[in-house]
Amino acid sequence: MALPTDLLDILACPKCKGDLRLTEPGDGLICLACGVVYAIVEDIPIMLIEEAVPLDDWNRGKRPDLR
Ligand SMILES: [Zn+2]
């Protein structure tokens, strides 16, 4: 699972408009400024502040429940 890098260039954190970086497995986009992760579900980044997962929780395996 991978996002095109040009898409990554366009995407910005909805909270702070800052740059995002891809998680190592490519399953989320990290905003280091906000300390949150936006999950990527079926190749679509969930760019919603209310669905953002705190980085600590993400690293413990938490994912947004989008079903
Ligand atoms: Zn941010």
Domain ranges of the chain: 5-59
pLDDT in the model for residue 4: 74
Site of tokens 């490519």 = 26
pLDDT beyond 90 at 5: no
At 9, the pLDDT band (50, 70, 90 cuts) reads confident
Rounded to the nearest angstrom, the distance between the alpha carbon of 31 and the centre of ligand 1 is 5
> What's the pLDDT at 10?
86
pLDDT of res. 1? 54
Ligand 1 centre and the CA of 27: distance in Å? 17
CATH number of this structure's domain 5-59, picked from the four choices 3.40.50.1000, 2.20.25.10, 3.40.50.720, 3.40.470.10: 2.20.25.10
Using alpha carbons, list the distances in angstroms from residue 4 to 1, 20, 48, 58, 61.
10, 13, 20, 23, 25
